[in-house]
């Protein structure tokens, strides 16, 4: 064998060894990546937080490699979600400083839940027919598996077909959203309001406090800023909010001027809502009455602040007479008490 052939074979053997080493390195790298991805995937599925710096140190790689692994896991979950409908997503939690698994599927409504929501929405009669149809369609298509959508639609079909929209026929969702933004940003608003009595449209500058719903209508609870208007209130310097039906607001502007809200003195719509009937505002009152009807639970549900302070047997031997006390705002309670007829005796 000549020297030139020997040199060529030597270089060839070196090249073969290099290719073998490269192949083994690639094979090891592939094995390491599989182990990393499975390890990170297992942590996510177990609810652990995955920190890129920590994982890079544990696996002896740079953070870019960990980021690629997380991206691969995210892509895999997206594909699985499209196939089986169980949607999981890997999101970054800034507070925890790492990645975690958000199981969106668990946040979806169940079929019974979405049916209940559709029924409540229809019974509210708060929106026009076209708005209601659009909302129901979006709810069902977004929250119900495709194979069950037909069943849910059929269960609400008759009620939806006979749905009676409110007489005002106003589309006010955008106005309500603007008011919500103003409440969140603590900004004054200026509205043009069509009151129930009279046809004059009034302009009011208000401090918006809360949005509430009751008996078919959405309401704005706001503090009046015009002292001349406040002077006409039935209770001068009344600290309680003025109530406006949102569908009667013809125009709403969010002003640049902000107001300050002290946490201790903030308006709590939840507590206020317990004490108001038919959205008639006014001063805080305490009422006591005797209830002679058959379902005291209905009274306690209607008046969340109500308490039973006494019981006595009815003359018919079947019923119990309950003495009830409650805290309420305004005169709306009088309307409700009168509507109960002989079942209520005011003390």
- Quick: pLDDT tens for 62-75: 888 889 888 888 88
The total of other beta-carbon atoms located within 10 Å of residue 144's CB is: 22
The verdict on residue 167 lying in a domain is: no
The total of other beta-carbon atoms located within 10 Å of residue 41's CB is: 19
Q: Are residues 101 and 8 in the same domain?
A: yes
CB 192 within 8 A of CB 205: no
Share of the chain above pLDDT 90, in %: 28
The verdict on residue 279 lying in a domain is: no
For residues 296 and 1, give the distance between their C-alpha atoms in angstroms, rounded to a whole number.
112
Look at residues 69, 90, 106 and tell me which one is the last residue of a structural domain: 106
Give the pLDDT confidence score for residue 230 in this predicted structure: 62
Q: Are residues 220 and 266 in the same domain?
A: yes
pLDDT band (50, 70, 90) for residue 236: very low
Give me the helix-helix angle, 63-84 and 52-59, nearest 10°. Answer: 110
Paired sense of beta strands 284-291 and 98-103, if any? unpaired
Residue 174 contacts by C-beta under 8 Å, 6 or more apart in sequence? none
For residues 322 and 347, give the distance between their C-alpha atoms in angstroms, rounded to a whole number.
12
The verdict on residue 222 lying in a domain is: yes
Lowest-pLDDT range, 23-27, 34-38, 84-88, 180-184?
Answer: 23-27
The verdict on residue 168 lying in a domain is: no
- CATH number of the domain bearing residue 335: 3.30.70
Segment (H or E) for 171:
none
Give the pLDDT confidence score for residue 145 in this predicted structure: 74
Q: Are residues 14 and 93 in the same domain?
A: yes
For residues 18 and 337, give the distance between their C-alpha atoms in angstroms, rounded to a whole number.
94
Give the pLDDT confidence score for residue 28 in this predicted structure: 52
What is the chain's mean pLDDT, rounded?
Answer: 81
- CATH number of the domain bearing residue 73: 1.10.10.10
pLDDT above 50 (res 209): yes
Q: Are residues 321 and 237 in the same domain?
A: no
Q: In what order do the strands lie in the sheet with 344-346?
A: 307-313, 320-329, 284-291, 344-346
Lowest-pLDDT range, 43-47, 189-193, 262-266, 301-305?
Answer: 262-266
pTM of the complete model:
0.62
Q: Are residues 9 and 98 in the same domain?
A: yes
Q: What is the span of the domain harbouring residue 225? A: 173-274
CA 33 to chain centre: 41
Task: Report which listed range, 25-29, 79-83, 155-159, 281-285, is most confident.
Answer: 155-159
**3-class SS at 267?**
coil
The verdict on residue 63 lying in a domain is: yes
Q: Are residues 23 and 68 in the same domain?
A: yes
Segment (H or E) for 286:
strand 284-291
Q: Are residues 39 and 71 in the same domain?
A: yes
pLDDT above 50 (res 212): yes
Which carries the bigger pLDDT value, residue 325 or residue 268?
325
Cα dist. 306→279, 293, 333 in Å? 17, 15, 12
The verdict on residue 226 lying in a domain is: yes
The verdict on residue 166 lying in a domain is: no
Rg over alpha carbons for the chain, rounded to the nearest Å, is 33
Segment (H or E) for 335:
helix 332-339
Q: Are residues 15 and 86 in the same domain?
A: yes
* Domain count for the chain: 4
pLDDT above 90 (res 15): no
Q: Are residues 187 and 153 in the same domain?
A: no
For 128-162, the pLDDT digits (tens) are: 999 999 999 998 887 777 778 899 999 999 999 99
pLDDT above 90 (res 45): no
Task: Report which listed range, 114-128, 233-247, 253-267, is most confident.
Answer: 114-128
Among the listed residues 110, 109, 112, 108, the one whose alpha carbon sits nearest the alpha carbon of residue 155: 112
The verdict on residue 256 lying in a domain is: yes
Q: Are residues 130 and 63 in the same domain?
A: no
Backbone conformation region of residue 215, classed left if phi is above 0, alpha if psi is from -120 to 50, else beta: left
Give the pLDDT confidence score for residue 198 in this predicted structure: 61
**3-class SS at 278?**
coil
Give the pLDDT confidence score for residue 323 in this predicted structure: 93
Share of the chain above pLDDT 70, in %: 79
The total of other beta-carbon atoms located within 10 Å of residue 79's CB is: 10
Phi, psi of 341 (to 5 degrees): 60, -130
Q: Are residues 148 and 64 in the same domain?
A: no
- Residues 300-321 have a mean pLDDT of 88
For residues 168 and 175, give the distance between their C-alpha atoms in angstroms, rounded to a whole number.
15
For residues 98 and 92, give the distance between their C-alpha atoms in angstroms, rounded to a whole number.
6
Backbone conformation region of residue 125, classed left if phi is above 0, alpha if psi is from -120 to 50, else beta: left
Q: Are residues 85 and 115 in the same domain?
A: no
């Amino acid at each position: 064998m000549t020297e030139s052939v020997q040199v060529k074979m030597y270089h060839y053997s070196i090249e073969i060894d290099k290719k073998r080493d490269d192949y083994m390195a690639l094979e090891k790298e592939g094995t390491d990546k599989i182990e990393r991805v499975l390890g990170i995937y297992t942590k996510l599925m177990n609810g652990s937080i995955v920190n890129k710096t920590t994982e890079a140190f544990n696996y002896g790689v740079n953070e870019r490699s960990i980021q690629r692994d997380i991206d691969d896991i995210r892509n895999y979950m997206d594909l699985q979600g499209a196939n089986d409908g169980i949607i999981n997503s890997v999101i970054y939690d800034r507070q925890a400083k790492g990645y975690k698994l958000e199981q969106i599927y668990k946040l979806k409504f169940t079929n019974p839940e979405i049916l209940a929501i559709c029924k409540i929405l229809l019974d509210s009669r708060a929106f026009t027919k076209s708005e209601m149809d659009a909302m129901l369609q979006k709810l069902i298509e977004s929250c119900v598996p495709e194979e069950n959508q037909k069943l849910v639609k059929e269960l609400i079909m008759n009620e939806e077909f006979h749905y009676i929209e409110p007489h005002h026929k106003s589309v006010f969702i955008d106005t309500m959203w603007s008011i919500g933004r103003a409440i969140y940003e603590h900004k004054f608003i200026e509205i043009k309001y069509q009151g129930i009595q009279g046809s004059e449209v009034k302009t009011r500058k208000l401090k918006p406090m809360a949005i509430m719903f009751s008996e078919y209508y959405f309401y704005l609870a706001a503090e009046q800023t015009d002292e001349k208007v406040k002077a006409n209130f039935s209770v001068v310097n009344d600290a309680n909010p003025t109530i406006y039906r949102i569908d009667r607001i013809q125009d709403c502007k969010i002003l640049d001027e902000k107001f300050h809200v002290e946490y201790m003195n903030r308006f709590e719509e939840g507590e206020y809502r317990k004490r108001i009937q038919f959205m008639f505002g006014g001063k805080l009152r305490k009422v006591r009455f005797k209830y002679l009807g058959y379902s005291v639970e209905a009274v306690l549900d209607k008046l969340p602040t109500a308490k039973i302070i006494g019981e006595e047997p009815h003359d018919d031997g079947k019923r119990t007479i309950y003495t009830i006390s409650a805290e309420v705002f305004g005169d709306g309670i009088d309307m409700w008490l009168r509507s109960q007829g002989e079942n209520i005796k005011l003390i």
